[in-house]
Amino acid sequence: MNKGILYFSAPWCEPCKLFGPVVDSAATQKGIPVKKINIDYDTSFVEQYNVKSVPTLVLTDNGGKELNRLVGKHDLNTVLNFIG
């Protein structure tokens, strides 16, 4: 099963700015694609995945079904474990 990450963030969110490079590093290490979603502009994704705060990571299968969710800023090891 192919997985992907939806990374919900906003340019005004300081934790998002700090967390972005961690997400990129984890995705590169795991060979998984990341779609970055600006919650101010991509409101359809925000509604579809019921995102209430940022930063939020949603792990999806290749059909877009949510497999797991991680809310808040975390360290690299946490994100790597989240991806699996």
pLDDT of residue 61: 93
| Residues tagged active-site | 13, 16
Q: For residue 1, is pLDDT > 70? A: no
pLDDT of residue 63: 87
Digit-coded pLDDT (tens) for 38-52: 999 989 999 999 999
Name the CATH architecture for the domain at 3-83: 3-Layer(aba) Sandwich (3.40)
The CA angle 22-8-70, to the nearest 5 degrees, is: 65
Q: For residue 19, is pLDDT > 90? A: yes
Q: For residue 6, is pLDDT > 70? A: yes
What CA–CA distance (Å, rounded) separates 20 from 10? Answer: 11
What CA–CA distance (Å, rounded) separates 75 from 77? Answer: 6
| Average pLDDT of the residues of the chain | 94
What CA–CA distance (Å, rounded) separates 22 from 29? Answer: 11
pLDDT of residue 36: 95
